[in-house]
Structures are given as C-alpha cells and as structure tokens.
Amino acid sequence: MTPLLTALIIGLAAAGIFALRPVTAKIKTVFHSNPVVNTQIKFQSLQLVLAAVVLLFVYFLNPENFGHFFRIGDVNAHISKIVWLGVTGNEIWLEIATSIGLFITLGTAIFMFFQLKKAGVDYRYFLFSLLWSIPFSMVNAFSEEAIFRIGIVSPLYGVFSVAVIVLISGVVFGLPHYFGMPSGIVGALMAGFLGWLLAMSLVETQGLLIAWAIHFAQDVVIITSMILMSRKQNE
C-alpha cells in the first residue's frame, strides 16, 4: 500500500507543479515589473505550499523514517563506492558536494550559456538577476527536494532497496525536466543524474543539507539565466 500511496502523492505533486504555471499566470497581482521575477514570486510561493502538503502526507505515511531524513544530516558521512564516477568510498559527502557538485554546476552553466547566447541577453542585468535568483533558488531547491527526495525516500526506505529508491528518484525528477529548464533530452538526463545523486546523499547523510546545497547551486545558475533572458540587448 505504501508504494502505491507514494506514487499517487508524488504523481499528483509533479502534476501539481505543472498546474501551478497556468494558475500563476491567472494571478493578476503584480509584485515586480520584471515578468520573470514577478512570475517566480508567485510560482515559488505556491510551490512551497505544495511542498508543505507533500511533507505532511509523507510524515503520516512513515513518521519514523520522516524523522530520520527531514533534518540537516551528517555532511561528514562517507559516500558509497561509485566506480564509474571515480568515487572510492573513502570520501565524505562534504567533499563530493564541493567537487562533483562543482562539476555539475559547471555543466549546468555551460548548457545555460548557449541558451543565453542564443537569446541575446543584456549582461548589464547580471547582478540584478543573480540577486533575485538567490532567494528563489533557496525556496525552489527546498520545495523540489521535499517533493522528489523526501517524498520518495522517506516512505519507500525499508520497502525497496536503496539502489531502487535512488533510481526512482532520479527518473521521477528527470522526466519532468524534458519540458522544463534545462529542457530536452540533455536536460532530462542531467536532471535525472542529479536526482539520483541527491537521493543517495539523502540516504547516506540521513539528512537534507547536502542535497539542498547542490540543488541550490544549480538553481542559481538556471534562475539567473531565466531572468537574464527577459532582458534583451536591443531593449
């Protein structure tokens, strides 16, 4: 029963995230003159509410597991050996967050750079975009980690093997990004790998901090780029 309820909750939450976009568009209140900033203020607020609802349901599914994972966690916990990533198993998650996390962020930045180049953005607005992206990224990273990591790992831990759970998290997180940002097959694969890695960090550190921090770094790059794309050079 727990796997079915988990699938239902996460499926509805993922659909809910897509449904928030038209809902956001219908909210006529203007909080900022920049259209992307204005949309993000409304979208992130609604998504945070959605994440809180998911956390509430997940808590009641398995309060004990929820208590294990919904906390900061041990950043000095050792990561399991991952041969194809060159991880020996002697490293701690804090090292992985600053090394592999840096390469993932760099990869995201390169991907977004080509999107920015194609859009012909005005880089004079970079600082403006960066400053706004920070609070948006903090909220977005928390909301998505609550839904796609806590929402999957917490109820399924002890039901399936860790390998299966982290794979589910990666797939469920990657697929919606085909239509998101970064988009397409490359975007979905990048997000899928990230989701898999972050789910591993949640399980092995018994907490959310590492997953949130790596996710936050990606979102800063992506949301900064999104805001920049709203300012063209010829405007």
Q: Find all residues with CB under 8 Å of 89, minimum gap 6, and list them.
A: 78, 79, 80, 81
Residue 234 falls within a domain, yes or no?
no
CA–CA distance, 199 with 149 (Å, rounded to integer):
6
Say whether pLDDT at 10 is over 60.
yes
Q: Across all residues in the chain, what is the average pLDDT?
A: 90
Residue 57 falls within a domain, yes or no?
yes
Residue 162 falls within a domain, yes or no?
yes
Q: In this predicted structure, what is the pLDDT of residue 183?
A: 66
Residue 160 falls within a domain, yes or no?
yes
Backbone angles phi, psi at 192, to 5 degrees: -65, -45
Q: How many structural domains comprise the chain?
A: 1
Report residue 21 CA to chain centroid gap.
17
Provide mean pLDDT across the span 54-79. Answer: 95
Query: For tokens 């405007």, what's the residue?
Result: 235
This model's pTM is above 0.75? yes
Residue 24 falls within a domain, yes or no?
yes
Domain that holds residue 58: 2-228
Residue 156 falls within a domain, yes or no?
yes
Q: Which of 91-95, 159-163, 200-204, 229-233 has the weakest average pLDDT?
A: 229-233
Residue 126 falls within a domain, yes or no?
yes
- Residue-wise pLDDT tens digits, 107-140: 889 988 988 888 888 889 999 999 999 999 999 9
- Residue-wise pLDDT tens digits, 44-53: 999 999 999 9
Q: Let me know: does 195 contact 182? Beta carbons within 8 Å.
A: no
Residue 233 falls within a domain, yes or no?
no
Q: In this predicted structure, what is the pLDDT of residue 1?
A: 65
Which amino acid, 86?
G
Q: Let me know: does 225 contact 105? Beta carbons within 8 Å.
A: no
Residue 14 burial by Cβ neighbours in a 10 Å radius (0-12, 13-18, 19+): middle
Say whether pLDDT at 235 is over 60.
no
Q: What SS3 class is residue 160?
A: strand
